[in-house]
Amino acid sequence: MNRNDLDWWIDLVPDAAIVVGRDQVVVAANGRADAIFGAPEGGLKCKALELLIPEASRQAHRQYVADFFCEEECRAMGAGLRFQGRRLDGQLQPMDIMLNRIKVADQEFTLALIRDDSERVAIQQIREELETTTARLARAQEVGGLGWWEFDVECQRLVWSPMVAAILGLPEKIEASLALVAEHSHPDDRPRVLDLHRNLMTAAGTSLTYRIRRPDGEVRWLQETIDHGTGNRVLGVMRDITTEKSLEDRLRKESVIDDLTGMYNRKQFNRDLKSRYSAFIRRGRNASVIMYDFDHFKNINDCHGHLVGDKVLRQAARLVMDQLRPSDSAYRLGGEEFAIITGDTVPEDAVQLAERVRHLIEGAEFRADDSLVRATVSLGVSGFRLADNHFEDILRRADRALYQSKRKTRNTVSLIE
């Protein structure tokens, strides 16, 4: 083949093709090459090769082409050595090039077959973005304790994300199973979990909060929400809310616990007394209220200081709470005024508890640094009556009983039934 045959020969090549001499000038190009570089028909012929190379790459590419004529190996299409070509309008375009050497009339030339690589680059970018997004989503699910499962009702097939297994404390490769979720749920919550999973088709929009016990014994709180996906598919989202639950419990406790003594505060006292009154009215379950107040507590503060006074209240609170049953609760109503609600007791039994409290505090030696302090309390006791119209009626009677003790000799217990 001679030089004159190059033009018709190169037109037979199905890909865009150019032939370049050692002087790096295009000696032949087919119409597909003209089109890919944005040149008019025949416009690439006799053009310097560097016009088709991005300016920043021209020097390195010039040396690469020169070296290529000395190499024996050629580069195949799809070898991964892709680069940016420069169209004649200056626009850069991803291209994949196969290089080979040819001889025409005893002269060596480089034949370049060129393909537009834009679609592959776009797909690669989408794939990389998808992988990045998936990694971010997986990390977000991990940080947020979020897992999901999907159940195909028709095929009876369940799949779940690795975070579900992680939440349950199970190996990542374990077979997905809602029965496993129920198996690891807390025994007290298991019936509700089983009921939810047995009625998936009618549970859309249902959200259930329950506990699971992991294999290591740790108890975690989960919130599981059911939604219907496309077709016969049901989607479940599981979120570990243990941290939120702990915070919620702490905030709730802080809102009803007295900071100094660790007893419940007046807010919780009113709530519990109202609940006890409702139980008395509906089911006849009686309860008693013991109110007590420290005698001459101002003298302790004046003689020893308020810090010592606080320590006396704190130490006395521990003594009192150690005397209570699980059905009893103790409260600081304010200052040195306290109360106890005893569950399922008649006032006579509550008087016995009040006497124990009185004796304990009277006999206690409250120590604060080098100070030894003694204290006494006066107490008043009352129980619910059938004639009560409001839960505060019992409180008024217990308060009157307390002031009877104050008017007597102090350090005593009075009862108004």
- For every residue of 228-253, DSSP letters joined together read E-STTEEEEEEEE-HHHHHHHHHHHH
> Are residues 271 and 411 both part of a single domain?
yes
User: Residue 73 — very low, low, confident or very high, per pLDDT cuts 50/70/90?
Assistant: low
CATH classification at residue 345: 3.30.70.270
Alpha carbons 288 and 408: distance in angstroms, whole number = 22
Residue with tokens 């159940």: 151
What is the pLDDT, as a whole number, of residue 59? Answer: 83
Please tell me the pTM assigned to this model.
0.50
Say which residue, 64 or 374, is predicted with more confidence: 374
The verdict on residue 125 lying in a domain is no
> Are residues 275 and 234 both part of a single domain?
no
Q: Taking the alpha carbons of 341, 344, 350, 352 in that order, is the dihedral positive or negative?
A: negative
> Are residues 34 and 86 both part of a single domain?
yes
> Are residues 395 and 298 both part of a single domain?
yes
Alpha carbons 90 and 113: distance in angstroms, whole number = 21
Alpha carbons 209 and 184: distance in angstroms, whole number = 14
* Of 89, 116, 143, the domain-final residue: 116
Task: Please state, in angstroms and as integers, the Cα–Cα distance from residue 308 to each residue in 141, 246, 305, 337, 364, following that order.
Answer: 51, 33, 6, 17, 15
What is the pLDDT, as a whole number, of residue 321? Answer: 95
What is the chain's Cα-based Rg?
Answer: 43
User: Residue 72 — very low, low, confident or very high, per pLDDT cuts 50/70/90?
Assistant: low
> Are residues 307 and 400 both part of a single domain?
yes
CATH classification at residue 86: 3.30.450.20
What is the pLDDT, as a whole number, of residue 22? Answer: 86
> Are residues 333 and 365 both part of a single domain?
yes
> Are residues 240 and 267 both part of a single domain?
no
User: What average pLDDT score do residues 156-160 get?
Assistant: 91
Half-sphere exposure of 310 (CA within 13 A, CB side): 7
What is the pLDDT, as a whole number, of residue 263? Answer: 94
What is the pLDDT, as a whole number, of residue 80? Answer: 47
What is the pLDDT, as a whole number, of residue 141? Answer: 64
User: What average pLDDT score do residues 71-89 get?
Assistant: 68
Nearest to 281 by CA among 395, 386, 417, 416: 386
Instruction: For residue 214, give the 3-state DSSP assignment.
Output: coil
The verdict on residue 212 lying in a domain is yes
The verdict on residue 121 lying in a domain is no
User: Residue 174 — very low, low, confident or very high, per pLDDT cuts 50/70/90?
Assistant: very high
Question: How does pLDDT run across 232-245, given as a tens digit for each residue?
Answer: 889 999 999 998 88
> Are residues 215 and 347 both part of a single domain?
no
Please report, rounded to a whole number, the percentage of residues in the chain having pLDDT higher than 90: 52
Task: Please state, in angstroms and as integers, the Cα–Cα distance from residue 405 to each residue in 203, 274, 351, following that order.
Answer: 60, 26, 13
User: What average pLDDT score do residues 60-86 get?
Assistant: 68
Residue 80: how many CB atoms within 10 A of its CB? Answer: 7
Question: How does pLDDT run across 22-71, given as a tens digit for each residue?
Answer: 888 999 999 999 999 999 999 999 999 889 988 888 888 777 777 776 76
Question: How does pLDDT run across 247-264, given as a tens digit for each residue?
Answer: 888 877 778 889 899 999
The verdict on residue 14 lying in a domain is yes
Q: Using DSSP bridges, classify how beta strands 92-104 and 83-86 pair: parallel, antiparallel or unpaired.
A: antiparallel
What is the pLDDT, as a whole number, of residue 118? Answer: 84
Which positions are annotated as active-site residues? 336
Say which residue, 77 or 341, is predicted with more confidence: 341
> Are residues 403 and 265 both part of a single domain?
yes
Burial bucket for residue 94 (CB in 10 Å: 0-12, 13-18, 19+): middle
Question: How does pLDDT run across 282-291, given as a tens digit for each residue?
Answer: 888 889 999 9
| Identity of residue 346 | V
Question: How does pLDDT run across 118-139, given as a tens digit for each residue?
Answer: 888 888 888 877 777 666 666 6
Residue 98 pLDDT > 90, yes or no? no
The verdict on residue 228 lying in a domain is yes
Ramachandran area for residue 24 (φ above 0: left; ψ -120 to 50: alpha; else beta): left
Residue-range definition of the domain harbouring residue 71: 3-116
> Are residues 173 and 104 both part of a single domain?
no
pLDDT, the chain, mean: 88
Residue 294 neighbours by CB under 8 Å, 6+ apart: 300, 312, 313, 316, 336, 375, 376, 377
Query: What totals of helices (H) and strands (E) does the chain contain, helices first?
Result: 13, 17
Residue 110 pLDDT > 60, yes or no? yes
> Are residues 83 and 21 both part of a single domain?
yes
Name the domain count of the chain: 3
What is the pLDDT, as a whole number, of residue 228? Answer: 81
